Structure 1
Amino acid sequence: MASTQELKDVIKDTLDNRGVLGQIKARIRAEVFNALDDQSETKPPLSNENMIINELIREYLEFNRYKYTSSVLVSESGQPKEPLDRDFLAKELNVKQDRHSQSVILRSKAVEIFWQKSAETEQQGLIVNGGKR
């Protein structure tokens, strides 16, 4: 007959292997943060730039199913509860929506565009300087 400790270990391992234990821990952390969050404390106004940055972070977190981390971000940042419209974000980030960009998170597409422009700028600098750095 299994001891109580062995039974606890099996249950813990099973929950851990299924990914449930991590979700439970994340949920507890989110609830603790929500309980400790002082609603009377005024937060600084959320600028448009920070709202867009927070939304990209939220999109990343939700894409990766970090929903409790996302809820803490929304709670602490003052971000609107409802996500911003994806088309609005794409327009603000100058991301052209196509079949490929709609299947990836906007953060990835925005970073891809940034790297392309950086490479183009560097290439233009090399051409202007005769290939010298």
Structure 2
Amino acid sequence: MATITELKCAVRETLESRGVLGQLKARIRAEVFGALDDQREQRPSLSHENLLINELIREYLEFNKYRYTASVLTAESGQPQVPLDRQFLASELRVTEDMSSKSVPLLYGLVSHFLHSGDDERKVFLRGPAVGNTGHKADS
């Protein structure tokens, strides 16, 4: 007869091989966070930059089926429950898409653009958000 330890190992291996264990852990984390999150606590307003960044991340997470991680991001950041329209997001980022790029998150296209840009092309100058306009909790 199998010992309790052997049984636990067998159950764990089965859940891992079916891909269920990771989903369960993520779901438990999301539920615990939801239970602990104080809805009465005033959240700082989202800056335009944070709204766009969070939306790029949410689109990436949902595309990769990281649904519980996406739900925690939405709850913790104060991001609107309804995702922003992709065309609006692309327009705000001044991104032009072809048909093949529309099948993947915008974040993939942005990363691909920078990875495949030739060295002879002009470098992009990155500028941070306006001081005090990040909407980040540390700014409040």
Give TM class, smaller chain. 0.7 to 0.9
Alpha-carbon distance between aligned partners in 1 of 2:114 and 2:88, rounded to the nearest angstrom: 18
Listed one character per residue, the Cα deviations across residues 15-73 of structure 1 (whole Å, up to 9, x for unaligned) are 01111001001100011111110111101111111101000011111111111111010
Alpha-carbon distance between aligned partners in 1 of 2:122 and 2:54, rounded to the nearest angstrom: 27
Question: Max radius of gyration: which structure?
Answer: 1
User: 2:129: which partner in 1?
Assistant: none
Q: Is the contact made by 1:56 and 1:107 (CA closer than 8 Å) also made in structure 2?
A: yes
TM-score (norm. length: structure 2)? 0.79
Q: Is the contact made by 1:93 and 1:110 (CA closer than 8 Å) also made in structure 2?
A: no
User: 1:104: which partner in 2?
Assistant: 104
User: 1:121: which partner in 2?
Assistant: 122
User: 1:11: which partner in 2?
Assistant: 11
User: 1:30: which partner in 2?
Assistant: 30
Q: Is the contact made by 2:63 and 2:104 (CA closer than 8 Å) also made in structure 1?
A: no
Deviation at 1:109, TM superposition (A): 1.4
Q: Is the contact made by 1:95 and 1:109 (CA closer than 8 Å) also made in structure 2?
A: no
Unaligned regions of 5+ residues in structure 1, if any? 123-133
Listed one character per residue, the Cα deviations across residues 55-92 of structure 1 (whole Å, up to 9, x for unaligned) are 00111111111111110100010001111101111111
Unaligned regions of 5+ residues in structure 2, if any? 124-140
Tell me whether 1:41 sits opposite 2:41 in the alignment.
yes
Runs of 4+ aligned residues of structure 1 deviating over 4 Å after TM superposition are: none
RMSD of aligned residue pairs (Cα, Å): 1.8
Tell me whether 1:93 sits opposite 2:99 in the alignment.
no
Q: Is the contact made by 2:62 and 2:70 (CA closer than 8 Å) also made in structure 1?
A: yes
Q: 1:13 to 1:106 in 2, by over 3 A?
A: same
Listed one character per residue, the Cα deviations across residues 88-118 of structure 1 (whole Å, up to 9, x for unaligned) are 1111112212211112210121234456498
Larger RCO of the pair (alpha carbons < 8 Å, separation 6+): 2
TM-score (norm. length: structure 1)? 0.83
Q: Is the contact made by 2:51 and 2:79 (CA closer than 8 Å) also made in structure 1?
A: yes
